[in-house]
């Protein structure tokens, strides 16, 4: 068992915050050491200081190491229909507004921190139901789903979930949008998978590379891992990337400082530009 000193924790925690935005308080030292223990041992290193020095390099190896580190410390816990009221509001209020616009025939939706895919696939299914018959013709309805974790994105792209996971969904969705596999698992059908563009993206990047703004941004239960200053900066960037009249959905355990954001409060965890 490799011990982690106070200095090693401080160095790694500062690096993690700088690169991934995740704020680890002192009481998380045991958690961090536990998640990295086997990783450090497998690399033949004798201390967390050696591991920190490896991460500090400026080559392809250190970049890959940083990606692996983020995968180890990221918490990718989610499930279908989490905080269901958001999806109800999106279906009843947001989608009808977007579909009634004159001229534009695209829906620009971003699932930021998409984890293993349940959120963006749910949005894709809601969008699919909003169109009837040939109503989708001429529309661009592909939505963007991003995460910093490669392992989470790999799971999301597979779109494979247990029967238990599908239990929270309407029964008609399970029949219409999923294909049964062996051993009680189901896979999202290609027609829905093709509507979600999965990409690795770090919300801590200085600039967002998108050329057009989004009509709705979902970033739920992500900012709970950030400190206040990081949250304020991120929300400002989200605001810049939101279309006028567009929406930001955050987690119910999160909130925006109304004195420091230009978003207008709509309902718990829903804000509008």
Among all residues, which ones are annotated catalytic? 35, 147
Using DSSP bridges, classify how beta strands 160-162 and 270-272 pair: parallel, antiparallel or unpaired. Answer: unpaired
CA angle at 55 for the pair 54 and 61, rounded to the nearest 5°: 75
Query: How far, in whole angstroms, is CA 232 from its chain's centroid?
Result: 18
| Residue 121 neighbours by CB under 8 Å, 6+ apart | 80, 159, 177, 188, 192, 193, 196
- DSSP labels for 202-253? -TTSSS---SS-EEEEEE-SSGGGS-HHHHHHHHHHHHHTEEEEEEEEE-TT
């Amino acid at each position: 068992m490799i011990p982690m000193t106070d200095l090693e924790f401080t160095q790694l925690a500062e690096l993690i915050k700088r690169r991934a935005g995740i704020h680890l308080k002192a009481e998380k030292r045991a958690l961090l050491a536990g998640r990295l223990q086997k990783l450090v041992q497998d690399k033949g290193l004798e201390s967390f200081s050696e591991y920190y020095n490896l991460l500090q390099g400026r080559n392809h190896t250190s970049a890959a190491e940083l990606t692996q580190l983020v995968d180890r410390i990221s918490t990718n816990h989610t499930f279908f229909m989490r905080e269901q009221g958001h999806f109800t509001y999106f279906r009843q209020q947001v989608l009808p507004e977007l579909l009634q616009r004159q001229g534009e025939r695209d829906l620009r939706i971003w699932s930021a921190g998409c984890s293993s895919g349940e959120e963006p696939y749910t949005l894709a299914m809601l969008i699919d139901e909003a169109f009837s018959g040939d109503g989708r013709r001429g529309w661009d309805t592909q939505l963007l789903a991003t995460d910093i974790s490669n392992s989470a994105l790999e799971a999301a792209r597979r779109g494979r979930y247990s029967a238990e996971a599908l239990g929270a969904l309407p029964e008609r969705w399970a029949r219409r949008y999923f294909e049964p596999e062996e051993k009680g698992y189901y896979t999202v059908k290609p027609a829905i998978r093709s509507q979600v563009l999965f990409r690795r993206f770090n919300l801590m990047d200085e600039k967002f590379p998108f050329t057009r703004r989004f009509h709705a941004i979902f970033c739920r239960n992500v900012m709970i891992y950030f400190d206040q200053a990081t949250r304020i900066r991120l929300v400002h960037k989200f605001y810049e990337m939101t279309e006028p009249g567009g929406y930001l959905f955050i987690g119910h355990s999160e909130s925006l400082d109304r004195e420091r954001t230009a978003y207008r409060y709509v309902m718990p965890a829903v804000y509008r530009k």
